[in-house]
Structure formats: structure tokens, C-alpha cells
Chain A
Amino acid sequence: MLRCDHCLLEFPEREAVRDAGPGGEKVFCCAGCRGIYRLIVEEGLQRFYSGRDWKEPGLPVAPGSARVDAASFQGAVRDADRLRELDVYVDGIRCASCVWLNERLLARTPGVTFARVNYATHRARVRFDPERTSLETVLGRIAAAGYAPKPYSEAEGYAARRAEARDLLVRFGTAAFLSSQLMIYSVALYAGTFQGIDPSTRRLMEWVALSLALPVFFYSGAPFLTGAARGLRRLRFDMDALIVLGSGAALGYSAWAMAAGREVYFDTAAMIVTLVLLGRYVEARAKGRASEAVSRLAALVPRVARLVVRGADGRDERRTVPVAEARPGDRLEVVPGERVPLDGAVESGASEVDESLVTGESRPVAKGPGAAVVGGSVNLHGSFVLRVTRVGKETVLAGIIRAVEEAQAAKPRIQALADRVVGVFVPAVLLLAAATVAFHLARGATGPGALMIGVSVVVIACPCSLGLATPIAVLLATGMASARGILVKGGDVLEEAGRATDVVLDKTGTLTCGRPVLREVVALDPALSRDGALALAAAVERRSEHAFGKAVVEAARSPGAAPLPEAEGFRAVPGRGVLATVAGARVAAGNRALLAGLGVPVPGEAGARARRYEEAGDTVARLAMDGRAVALLVVSDVVRDEAPEALRALRDLGLGLAVASGDNRATTESVAARLGIPRALSEAAPARKREIVAEMQASGRRVVAVGDGVNDAPLLAEASVGVAMGRGTDVTLESAGAVLVRDDLRLLPDLLRLARRTRSVIRQNVFWAFFYNAVAIPLAMAGLLHPIVAAAAMAASSLFVVGNSLRIRRVW
């Protein structure tokens, strides 16, 4: 085996493509990789190879095969003073060197004046002169280097969220700056309390402190003011109300205290706002980044179709149009590897279609003229033209999306733990303050005096680190998760996942690989070895585009295998199998009908065995040579290698397991039995899957649902926590709360373990946030509160919260 010098994939030596360059001889797995290597060397960018750090071999797209469709990029190009500016997502960037390579290649394209790739988002911004180069050229440069340019479409929601995060950053920065200045004067005032201070100096300090605290409260705290007003109109005490109450009370008290000649709490008022803003900013960043990453994964799906129109000269012409513009009756062409854009009926051509993402059916479905195809399924091979039957809201896909939206709308908004506590805490503090005022009045205090003691209770009770308790923990947890290849969309997802009791898994693509793999070769002829039979079958199937054939060829090409013999006179019998002549022998591989048609008898015992496999949901090909059946080849969608380990880990976490599949009963149950999953639900339509979860949750279970297909999306949206596999469809990714980007099932127990840890840390944080303030409340009630006590409580609880959150890092 050799390793390709460009893409690092291992490949058999006989397929090597060699290139003798100035840097010595290099080997490549294909001409495409060699082309990329030559391009890089010609541009003098070899440094890319020494600097790169690829954790996985391979290229995101087969080199050379990627036809870049410039039409779908039109929306991503803007005018920028006589030049054009393009935003493009570069798929395939895996390390800093990739960014470097793309920037250099683009910058060296004549006509390009600016090229910059964002390291975090992999978005390239390119400015070019439309008179000297074209959009196609720019995109072609990216594709030529083995990367896949995709339109960088930013959903409006994300743009708004980014603007919000930026706004929070400015408000927080301002508050932090003012608070740090304010602290200088507060310390001077504290020192004055102990050492004595000149009254005029003290007055100056107080005025400066007041003028610094006011913008913190009214400018930086503006989001809290509006939030609290909104909450109070609905008579709800939320976090915003608590902050406004605490900070406002401290500010009002201090203004009064200045007049009355007492201690001021301006620093407390400002610090509450500052620390909570920090929490909000951190939360917005963590959330925004994950959601953006998910929407980027989702946006990789093209939303264009190739319309076939009869031209004036009577010949067919093809035009690329947005899917939204297609009308019923239009004819659309679908080429291999593409997703079927809309529901329709095949008009001409034939192919096999992978519907697993839409229906959960694991086997490819053959489609000939007249057959109905579902939008969203993947065309495996063979081009066909379909006549659109349904568009827009009537398609199967739109129906599923509607179910997702219904489930999301019906789902009660999960209240974060901190918010639940606050809902009880605020009324309690207000009552306590009122009782304190009443008590001091009864003991003969003056009205204003008793009121001020009451207000001081509110001031000390407001735990500013409560605003940090959740965000800091969530920031650390999401950061750790994304380093592992898990995207988590928010803190509520982690809190819910930490409480999960059951896991419902989809079968096709989640528990299994989602593509057929050769599982077994049964040799019927003693003269032919297992490997010999496989090589023979692969020689015939090599020319076949059928998913079955690919599985056989892939198995035959495993390390150490002999080169495949040549096949001649290849012929495919649609729906039956393939025929060819190999080394003078007539070889046929196909189903029972093919062999029966050729008049080849299959021994009774072997026939029964084949039928048993077929009943269990596998696909069986009978291999015949010169009129004798010589072997059975069993192909099926195999269970992922890591699935048993992942499920064991889930069981160790005490979670109940179930599998829900749209596939037939035999297949589903055999997979469940093999993995030891007690509950198997088969032939479940998307709506049925959702019902299953809804029923479980109605009985008090908390369900984590895992899936990859469009048909799983309603399930993921309905479940307490939806987890999508990284290769899932856009709808699935959007409906899930977390995404396993690395497409490894073992990440699921990792995620749940992390969620449990995070949840317990958040609970501890909430406790510590309240603890120091609660201890100081009696002091305030007695009228003995001093600003230093308030500042110390705030500092101590914040330190504890941050320190405790760091413990999350020790989960794995």
C-alpha cells in the first residue's frame, strides 16, 4: 500500500500515479491529486505540505470532478467600488495551512485584489475586478486546489444574532471600563471609612462615582431595563428583573446616601451590570458559533435544479434555476450523486435512488420511467429526467418540515435552572425587605431610615455571579464539545441532555453506516476459494454503477488483494444483475430471477440459505460461472463499528435504549437484536416516530433522539434533546439541538456525560452564587451592611463560580 502525497489516502500500488518533480518523486492516488500537487508547486506554495496538519486523509470532493456551478453564487456577490466582492465558504479547510494555501492561490489570480479567509468560519472574502477576471475563474481556483467552494449564505437570523453579540460586547466593554474606573474611587472611599477622609474630598469621590455609575446602569444596562419591563408587564420576575432591582436599588440607595451622608454602593450597582453582561456576551458567543456552524453544514445543500426546456430548434436545453421557481409539469434533469430537487415522476432514463434520508429505507430503490421519486432522495447513478408533480408546500419534504415546526412550536420553552430559581427568589427578597422595613418601623425607626435598611436588603441579595453561573459553565462545555466534534446549540440543550432517561436511535445511517457493505461470501464450489469468488464477482461488478457492485468492488480492493482480472462483454440487466466474460468464463452475478432466466440451477440448500439472508433484510447476489452457481455474496447495511461500544457506554450511564426505523421489521429487529437493544419500532413513518417519543415523554421520560435523515427531523424536534449525525440533511441539522460533526456514535455517550457534568456544575454554581449574598442578608436586615461587605460577597461568589466551572474540564 502506498500513501498519496497529496490527500494522504492509502491505495494499492498498481493504481499509483507518479510525478517526478524538483522535490523528488511523489506518488498520488489519482491524476486529480497530482494535478493539485503540480498547481501548488507551480505557484511556489510547497510550504503548504510541511505546514499542514490533516487529522483525516482524503479530499472533500473528488478532484477534477467538481463542476462549480457559478449560478448558485450570484447571491453571494456584491459591488464594492468598481470591484466585485464575493463571500464563499471553502469546504475542505482542515488546518491553518489550508487557509494559507487558499489565500495565496486566490491572491495570485490576476484580477483579484484582496483575498482573506476567516480561520474560524472558513469563509473567504474575495474582491476582484470583473473586467480582468470572472466569478467562474475565482471559484475554479478554489476547486482546482481540491477544495469545494460553496455559497456562503448567512441566514438573516444569524446576522441579527451576530449584531447582537457585537452590541453586547460594546456594552460590556463600556461597563467594564467604567466599573474599573469606578473601583478606584470606591477604594478611596473605603479607605476613607477606616482612616478618615476630608469631607470635600469624599464629596468629590462620590460625585465622580455617581457620574461613572449612571452610564453603566442606563447605557450598558439598557438590555436589562427593557427585558425587565417586558417581563414585569407579564408579571414575571426573571433574571432581568432581578438585575434591575438589585442594581437600581444600589444606585437609588447611594444617591440618597450621598444626601444623608452615608456610605455609597455605586461599585455594587456597576459590578452587577458588568458581570451579568459578561455572562450574556459569553453565552451569545457560544450559542452563535454553534448555530452558525450548523447552518453552514446545512447550507452546503444546493437549492438549484436543472430545468430541461425544449428550445426553438426542437432540441432540449438545460438551464439552472432555483428550486423555488420550478412549477408542476416542468422537466428537471438529475445527474448521479445529486439530490432529487422535487417530487415527481421519472419521464426518461433509469436509475437507483437512495431514499434512506427521506423514508429510512436502507436499500437503494430502482426507478424506471413512470416511477415516483421523492425530493430529497439521492440519485446514485444514471441520469434521468423527471416531470415535477408537486412543488412548494405540497412536497413530501415540506410536509416533514411542517411536522418539525409543529413539534418545535408545541414544545414548552425550557427554563434554565437559574431562571427557575430567580422566579422564586425575587418575590422572596421583596417580602423579606418589606418585613425588614415593617420591623424597623415598629421598633421606632424613622420612615426614610427603615426604608433604606429595606433597600439595603435588596442590594445585598442580588447575586451578580448568578449571571455568570450558567454562561461560564456552558462556554466551557460547548468549547470542549466542539473540540471533540460535537456542536451544541445552547445551554438549555446541555441542561436537558443532563436529565435524559432514554435514548431513541434511528437505524439507517445512525446505528448503521447507511450504505451497503459486503458482509459475507459463501463459496458453493469447493474449487473456488472465498477470495477467488470475490475477485471474480468484483471483476464483473467493477463496471457496474450499482450500489451493490460498489460494495463488492470495495471489499475486493482491500489491502493485500490480488489485482482484479479483466472482464469483457459487460452487460447489465436492469433490476436483475450483471453479466460478463472473465478469463474465458461466462460469469453472471445477480438475483434469483437472473439465474433462473439463464437457466442456472441453484442447489436447494444454497437457495434456502440465500432466502434466509433475504428475509433478514440483506441483499444476496448469486454468482454463476459457466452455468454453475459458485457463490453467494451477501451485502447489507452493516452496523457501525463503534456502535456496540457506544451503546454499552449509554447503558452504563443508566439510559433506556430503543431503535425507531422506517425500515422493514426483519431488518430493524435483526439490527436491534445484534446490538442488544430491547425496543425496536419498525416501519415507522416520520409522524409515527414523533408520536412514539411524545408518548414516552408524556409518561415522564426525558428522551434524547438521534437521527440523520429528513424522516428523523420531527422526532429530533419533538424529543427533549435532538442529536443529528454530522452527515445528516439540512432539515435534520436545523431541527437538532446538538450535532455529532465527526459522525462517530461514540460521541453520544461523551455528550451525555458532559451534559450531566455541566448540569451538576451549573447547580453548584447557582448555589455558590447565592451563598455569600445569603450570608450577608442578616447583616443588611440588622441595618449593619457596609459597601465592603457587598463588594466582598460579590467577588467571593464570582471567584467560586468561575473556579467551580473549570471543573467541567475534567469530565473525560
Chain B
Amino acid sequence: MWTLGFLVILSLALGIGAWLLFVWSVKSGQYEDPEGPKYRMLDDDDDDEGRKPGG
């Protein structure tokens, strides 16, 4: 019984972790541009992405 309870709690904890990740991904706007990543992935030259001012 104790093992079962432990496993239940463990699975819920893992699930809640995944759920929190999901909520974060929605809030940070990762579903706003579903098209982009498949093209950006093919860009070799990331040289000027996130370039600092003056760079």
C-alpha cells in the first residue's frame, strides 16, 4: 500500500512538472509563431542573431 501511494505521488509530481512546463511555454509565447522554427532550424549562420548593440 505504501509503495502504491508513493508511486501515485511520484507520478503526480512528474505530471505536475510537465504541466508547469506547458503553462510556461504558453505564457512565453512559444505557440505564437508555429511556422518559424522549421525554417530557422535550417539557418546555418546564427552570427547576427541576438547581436549586441555595437557588435
Contacts and interface: CB of A to CB of B under 8 A. Distances in A.
Interface of A: 96, 99-100, 104, 107-108, 111, 113-114, 118-121, 129, 132, 166, 169-170, 173-174, 177, 180-181, 184, 200-201, 204, 208
Contact of A119 (B23, B35, B50): B35
Contact of A113 (B15, B35, B51): B51
Contact of B48 (A108, A174, A180, A184): A108
Given A96-B39, A119-B33, A166-B26, A181 B48 contact: no
Contacts of A111: 53
A119 B36 contact: yes
Contact of B53 (A113, A174, A208): A113
18 contacts: A104-B48, A108-B48, A113-B51, A113-B53, A114-B50, A118-B36, A119-B35, A120-B35, A120-B36, A132-B53, A166-B31, A169-B31, A173-B26, A174-B19, A177-B15, A177-B22, A180-B15, A204-B8
Nearest to A181: B15
B26 to A, nearest CB: 5
Nearest to B8: A208
A181 B11 contact: yes
Interface string B31-52: 1111110010001000011111
B34 A120 contact: yes
Nearest to A184: B11
A52 to B, nearest CB: 12
A201 B33 CA distance: 46
A201 B4 contact: yes
A111 B5 CA distance: 58
Contacts of A184: 11
Contacts of B36: 99, 118-120
B51 A107 contact: yes
Nearest to B43: A100
Contacts of B52: 113
A162 to B, nearest CB: 9
Contacts of A108: 48
A170 B11 contact: no
A114 B55 CA distance: 12
Contacts of B12: 181, 208
Nearest to A100: B43
B28 to A, nearest CB: 11
Interface of B: 1, 4-5, 8, 11-12, 15, 18-19, 22-23, 26, 31-36, 39, 43, 48-53
Nearest to A177: B19
B33 A118 contact: yes
A186 to B, nearest CB: 14
A173 B23 contact: yes
A170 B51 CA distance: 33
B32 A118 contact: yes
B53 A100 contact: no
A456 to B, nearest CB: 28
A170 B35 contact: no
Nearest to B1: A200
A107 B52 CA distance: 10
Main secondary structure of the interface of A (DSSP, over half): helix
A725 B36 CA distance: 29
A204 B11 CA distance: 14
A99 B19 CA distance: 33
B39 A119 contact: yes
Contact of B49 (A99, A107, A119, A177): A107
B5 A204 contact: yes
Contacts of B15: 177, 180-181
A169 B31 CA distance: 10
B4 A204 contact: yes
> Which residue, of B8, B35, B53, has the highest number of chain A Cβ atoms within 10 A?
B53
Contacts of A96: 39
Contacts of A166: 26, 31
Contact of B33 (A120, A132, A169, A173): A120
Contacts of B53: 111, 113, 129, 132
Contact of A107 (B4, B5, B48): B48
A50 B12 CA distance: 50
Nearest to B5: A204
B4 to A, nearest CB: 7
Contact of A100 (B1, B5, B39): B39
B3 to A, nearest CB: 11
A180 B18 CA distance: 12
A173 B19 CA distance: 8
A99 B49 CA distance: 13
B9 to A, nearest CB: 10
Contacts of A120: 33-36
Given A99-B39, A180-B15, 4 more contacts: A99-B36, A118-B36, A119-B36, A200-B1
Contacts of A177: 15, 18-19, 22
A297 B3 CA distance: 61
A249 to B, nearest CB: 26
- Which 4 A/B pairs are nearest by Cβ-Cβ distance? A119-B35, A96-B39, A119-B36, A107-B48
A214 B32 CA distance: 30
A6 B4 CA distance: 68
Contacts of B48: 104, 107-108
A96 B11 CA distance: 42
A114 B26 CA distance: 22
A213 B20 CA distance: 18
A200 B35 CA distance: 50
Contacts of A104: 48
Nearest to B19: A177
Nearest to B55: A113
Contact of A201 (B1, B11, B34): B1
Contacts of B32: 118
Nearest to B51: A107
Contacts of B8: 204, 208
Nearest to B29: A166
A774 to B, nearest CB: 35
B23 A170 contact: yes
> Which residue, of A104, A119, A129, has the highest number of chain B Cβ atoms within 10 A?
A119
Contacts of B33: 118-121
Contacts of B51: 107, 113
Nearest to A106: B48
B30 to A, nearest CB: 11
B27 to A, nearest CB: 8
A173 B23 CA distance: 8
A200 B19 CA distance: 29
B14 to A, nearest CB: 10
A180 B48 CA distance: 42
Contacts of A121: 33
A11 to B, nearest CB: 31
A114 B50 CA distance: 6
A287 B52 CA distance: 38
A173 B22 contact: yes
Contacts of A181: 11-12, 15
A797 B25 CA distance: 31
Nearest to A132: B53
B39 A170 contact: no
A120 B31 CA distance: 11
A248 to B, nearest CB: 24
A113 B48 CA distance: 10
A120 B4 CA distance: 47
Contacts of B43: 100
Contacts of B22: 173, 177
Nearest to A212: B12
Nearest to B39: A96
